[in-house]
Every structure is written in C-alpha cells, then in structure tokens.
Amino acid sequence: MSIKRPSKSTGTAVRKSVTSPGMRHVDVTAPHQMIPGDLYSGWLCKNKSCGLLIAIAPPQAGSKPASAQADDQLVVIKCPHCGDENLYRWSARSEHKYAVKSAGP
C-alpha cells in the first residue's frame, strides 16, 4: 500500500522587493537607446557638469503604467550619463529634446 503525497507545485516565486515604501524606482532609457533630436519624457540631470536628458523608459508590456500612480512623488533617478543619483519630482517631468554634448573645445 503506497501513499502518494499530492505534489504541490512550488510556483510561488517569492521576489524580494528592494524598493522602500514611498520611494519609487523608475527605469530610465539607456543613452545608446536614445536618438539625438528626439523628444523624450523625463528630466534634465541635476548634475551641472552633466545636464543631459534622463528619459523615462517606456513601461514594459503587461505592467501597469507608472504614471497611473500618485503624480506628486519624489523618485530616485540614476542618471544614465554620469551615474549621479538624485531626487526628481515625478510631476516635474516633461518632454525634452535629447541633445548630445558637442565635442567642441
């Protein structure tokens, strides 16, 4: 007489969220994915020696659009150009034209 245990599927993948409550992480577009002259929604880098456009990455398919959440919230954005992390107000984002720095003197 054999007793077979019902095989429970371990399909509940537990993912640890590193985002602390109240602070949101926003994905940004990598510089090599940005086209100079195109408009992107985002912020200009607060680093004065950088000042380049930080573009919000478009929401992935199937995920909820981030813009549906509270608009007046501070988000931590890491500049993809200089690597500086700064706080940006979510509602302060606007469309900017991506301009690369001219390699002039």
**Footprint of Zn ion (CB under 5 A):** 45, 47, 50, 79, 81-82
- Cβ-based nearer residue to Zn ion, 71 or 87: 87
Smallest distance, Zn ion to C-beta of residue 47, A: 4
Taking the complex as a whole, how short is the minimal distance between the CB of residue 45 and Zn ion, in angstroms?
3
CB under 8 Å, gap of 24 or more: what pairs does 80-83 form? 80/28, 80/29, 80/30, 80/31, 80/54, 81/31, 81/45, 81/50, 81/52, 81/54, 82/45, 82/47, 82/49, 82/50, 82/52
Q: Return the number of the residue (80 or 90) whose C-beta is nearest Zn ion.
A: 80
- 73 or 86: whose CB is closer to Zn ion? 86
Name the minimum Å distance from CB 54 to Zn ion.
7
Under 8 Å between Cβ of 18 and 56: no
